[in-house]
């Protein structure tokens, strides 16, 4: 049966998605309606090459997961900005929130564990049960999750608070972050096992 005669056929739509972005506990989560757009995880594989006579043979190399960019809008209460800056604050980086250095206190610097811990619902600490993650859900018309991407060990690599301001524009102010992560995985896919090639 062709898909255009099947009324149950439902393609995925780019506007049906939600993202779970939490730092330091559920109370600090950024509500989904502040999100405007996000890039999905992308995997690339490097390659090595060997030349023999007039032929070129290619071999797979290392797998690399490219960064994910998320864009938010904000309100006049700075709901999003406070949470994004707070994520850096929890990770020991204090300059952005204007905290003076106290000579009587130990000087702490940012670590991967601390940065990853900011994006977990565990009060800013690395989780005990497993690696940290950010979840990106695609949903259908009934708000049922049909695809979930999990970013493992994510941390905020870049923060752009507002971009460009202009008297000529009428657009909403946007905030964007770039998330680096070790690898991504799709949850809930029932992929058939590979055939035995022995």
Structural domain boundaries of the chain? 23-40+61-132+156-180
Which pLDDT score is estimated for 113?
A: 77
Claim: this prediction has a pTM higher than 0.85: no
Which pLDDT score is estimated for 161?
A: 82
Which pLDDT score is estimated for 110?
A: 76
Which pLDDT score is estimated for 65?
A: 95
CB atoms closer than 10 angstroms to residue 40:
11
9-22 pLDDT, tens digit each: 888 899 998 887 76
Which whole-number Å values give the CA distances from 77 to 23, 73, 123, in the listed order? 19, 12, 23
44-63 pLDDT, tens digit each: 999 999 999 999 999 999 99
pLDDT band at 126 (very low <50, low <70, confident <90, very high): very low
Choice between 105 and 74, residue whose per-residue pLDDT is larger: 74
pLDDT band at 80 (very low <50, low <70, confident <90, very high): confident
Region 2-13 average pLDDT = 78
Which pLDDT score is estimated for 109?
A: 74
Distance, CA of 17 to CA of 113 (rounded, Å) = 28
CA angle 11, 14, 20 (to 5 degrees): 115
Q: What does the chain come to in residues?
A: 198
Q: Is the pLDDT of residue 125 over 50?
A: no
Which pLDDT score is estimated for 1?
A: 55
Q: Is the pLDDT of residue 165 over 90?
A: no
CA neighbor of 82 nearest in space, from 72, 132, 45 = 72
Choice between 37 and 33, residue whose per-residue pLDDT is larger: 37
Q: Which of 63-67, 96-100, 162-166 has the highest mean pLDDT?
A: 63-67
Whether 113 contacts 127, CB under 8 Å: no
Region 32-54 average pLDDT = 91
Distance, CA of 123 to CA of 198 (rounded, Å) = 49
Portion of the chain with pLDDT greater than 70, in percent: 73
Residue with tokens 């730092």: 23
DSSP letter assigned to residue 8: T
Whether 114 contacts 91, CB under 8 Å: yes
């Amino acid at each position: 049966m062709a898909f255009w005669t099947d009324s149950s056929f439902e393609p995925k739509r780019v506007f049906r998605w939600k993202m779970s972005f939490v730092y330091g506990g559920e109370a600090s989560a950024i509500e989904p309606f502040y999100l405007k757009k996000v890039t999905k995880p992308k995997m690339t594989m490097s390659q090595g090459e060997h030349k023999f006579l007039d032929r070129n043979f290619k071999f797979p190399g290392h797998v690399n997961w490219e960064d994910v960019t998320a864009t938010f809008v904000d309100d006049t209460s700075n709901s999003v900005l406070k949470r994004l800056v707070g994520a850096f604050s929890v990770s020991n980086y204090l300059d952005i929130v204007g905290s003076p250095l106290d000579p009587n206190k130990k000087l702490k610097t940012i670590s991967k564990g601390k940065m990853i811990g900011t994006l977990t619902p565990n009060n800013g600490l690395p989780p005990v049960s497993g690696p940290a993650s950010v979840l990106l859900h695609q949903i259908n018309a009934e708000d049922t999750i049909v695809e979930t991407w999990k970013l493992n060990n994510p941390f905020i690599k870049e923060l752009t608070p507002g971009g460009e301001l202009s008297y000529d524009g009428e657009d909403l102010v946007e905030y964007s972050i770039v998330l680096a992560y070790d690898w991504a995985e799709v949850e809930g896919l029932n992929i058939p096992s590979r055939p035995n090639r022995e």
